[in-house]
Amino acid sequence: MSKALRPLMREHEVITQVLRDFEGRIERFWKEGEEIPLKHIEYVLRFSEEYVIKSHFVKEEHCLLPALVKGGVGRDSINVVVKEHKSVERIVRRMKSLVRLYSDRKVSLDEVLDTCMELIEFLLQHIYKEDTLIFSHYGDVSEEEAEEILRCYDSVAPSSNVDVREMVGGGGV
């Protein structure tokens, strides 16, 4: 695997870990009634906004995807990735407004969690698609090109080097 891919693959692992943990909590709530603190839902929301959308997606769209096109990956695949990023952004916006309504006791927790589950399922399939169908077609690139992509990551989203828990203000991964 090109070293230009490694940071993003690592981020896929972090995102997957946070989403799987949250999915487990939601399932325990539905099956056993185990409480989910609002603070944790807010944490996942901030994680989605700051780490996934403002950092991970930006690095993909500004640095990796242009390199993939240069490397021969079809435009259609790239368009699918960008379109799915927009879908994630829409789901997260909806989740944010539901969390606000839930804090004001205007919607039920189930309504919030349905949207959270939608986000989890959609984002996990997106990551799976990138890993197996799109990024895997990115072959060897020259050392200089890989370095250039790594520098691009740092320039568009420097905060991504920060520990994820610090970045989204704690709440427990």
Question: What are the residues binding Fe ion (CB under 5 A)?
Answer: 60, 130
By beta-carbon proximity to Fe ion, the closer residue of 50 and 60 is 60
Indicate the residue among 113 and 123 with the shorter CB distance to Fe ion.
123
* CB of residue 119 to Fe ion, shortest distance in Å: 14
CB of 34 to Fe ion, least distance (A): 30
Closest distance of CB 60 from Fe ion, Å: 5
**Of 20, 10, 3, nearest in space to 131 by CA:** 10
Nearer to Fe ion, 50 or 130 (CB): 130
- Which CB sits closer to Fe ion, 25 or 85? 85
Q: Specify the long-range contacts of residues 36-43, CB closer than 8 Å, at least 24 apart.
A: 36/109, 36/113, 38/99, 38/102, 38/103, 39/171, 40/171, 40/172, 41/99, 41/112, 41/116, 42/99, 42/171, 43/168, 43/169, 43/170, 43/171, 43/172
Please state the closest distance from residue 42 (CB atom) to Fe ion, in A: 23
